[in-house]
Amino acid sequence: MAIKPAASLKPSDQTKGPMLFALPPELISTTLSNLSSDELQYYFNVLELVSSAEIHDSYLPIRKIALLCYYSDKPLIITNSVAKNQHHHHYPDGVELSIEELHLLRSKGIVIKPKQTNILINDDNCDCGCYNVSYIKFIEQLMDLLPYVNTCCPKINLVLNLTTDKLYNFAILNNFFERIQFIEVLAIKYTGDKIINFQNLKIQKIQLQFFNLNKLLSHLQVNNIANAQHLELRYNLINNLYFIPLNSNLVSLNLSNNNLVCINDANFNWKILHNLETLDLSNNNIVELNLSGNSTANYRLKRLNLFANSLRKVPNFNNCKLFRQLEEINLSRNSIATLPDNAFPPTLKSLWLKGNYLPDLMRSLSGRVFPKSLNYLDLTYCRILLTGQDDEQEAIRKLIEAEQLHKLKVLELEF
């Protein structure tokens, strides 16, 4: 379908112009906000306003309002990547603006109001095998626009995907950091050897991928992350938590996809994690989770992910105060063969045990295996054997009755 600019509306359509102009801008904005992005583009050709410097159109005031609606409450993407719209799988509702388009909006005094601003800086190898250094020029141009970007939306997410030291100008990168006052999310994927200094940034969520424990520790020593509420350290080859600095402000901690084997009181400083609500330890090699120290503090941990590890037995979650308020535990794809009594906290609502080996589960039901608070239970692919002459429906009935799972809403089970 061809896009028809608002300036080319038929005369019969233009008779509505005086009525539209007579409405308050707030009412026009409210009306246009009900249109989709495609509809706003079709009826008002809003993208022409960010690509053409000179536009003479009697409908320009209304088109500017439509432009604000087009970008309103959507993720804004600013990137140096050549392929336009390639990041929409991360931000499905995202709208992209180039440096040139931002300059044009600023020159026209148009202040858009996106939900958040996502700055994606990438220096990955191009198809010819050489390094793309356009990110240096991109950062220089973006620094001039930062006051305008902050005016549009102070919520900034910054993603750095850096692969080499050879062509880096870290002075430019550090200067760029100094001009950003607050970042909601800082995500760094870096395989070089230099230290990226983000010491002075105020950051809510930090995602660091260095694919090397020593490089990670060097960055954590140089940069103060004590104020971060969300810390994600996936793919860093972490095999010991002893040297990983943690802080009491953390609400979520993601340590998945590392090389962790044993987690205990000696190497995991869990006692300071008073505000932690989510702990992700999935996709490691954990064979032991043994936390049992005492603490006078109260804890808020609700979600624990142990998916795809090497646990042979269920940790006794009631032995550690950190785990006593858990509502969700994922133990799928471990090597658990038995479920002991009273191992799970009584607050538990959702439990995943998919892919473990529990052939004798029906014979070991004691009324104390599962907490009575469960709403969701996944026991698929556990090779559970039926007992006696029971069929599947009778076995399900016995499981629910024996364990008094009367609050259970979803039971995933196969024999």
Confidence of residue 216 (pLDDT cuts 50, 70, 90): very high
Residue 338 phi, psi (nearest 5): -140, 155
Give the least confident one: 121-135, 177-191, 228-242: 121-135
Q: Is 162 helix (H, G, I), strand (E, B) or coil?
A: strand
Instruction: Choose between 194 and 166: higher pLDDT.
Output: 194
Percentage of residues in the chain having pLDDT higher than 90: 67
Look at residue 14 in the predicted model and tell me its pLDDT.
46
Is pLDDT of 83 > 90? no
Is pLDDT of 12 > 50? no
pLDDT tens-digit profile of 169-188? 677 888 888 888 789 999 99
In this structure, are residues 112 and 68 in contact, taking their beta carbons and an 8 Å threshold? yes
Return d(Cα 315, Cα 344) in angstroms, integer: 8
- 265-287+299-415 fold: 3.80.10
Most confident of 142-151, 169-178, 191-200: 142-151
Give the least confident one: 12-16, 76-80, 198-202, 394-398: 12-16
Contacts (Cβ under 8 Å, ≥6 apart) of 171: none
Return d(Cα 300, Cα 321) in angstroms, integer: 10
* CA distance from start to end of the chain: 54
Look at residue 2 in the predicted model and tell me its pLDDT.
41
Confidence of residue 308 (pLDDT cuts 50, 70, 90): very high
CB neighbour class for 350 (10 Å; exposed up to 12, middle 13-18, buried from 19): middle
Look at residue 240 in the predicted model and tell me its pLDDT.
95
Return d(Cα 140, Cα 163) in angstroms, integer: 19
pLDDT tens-digit profile of 38-75? 999 999 999 999 998 888 888 888 999 999 999 998 99
pLDDT tens-digit profile of 256-307? 999 999 999 999 999 999 999 999 999 999 999 999 978 899 999 999 999 9
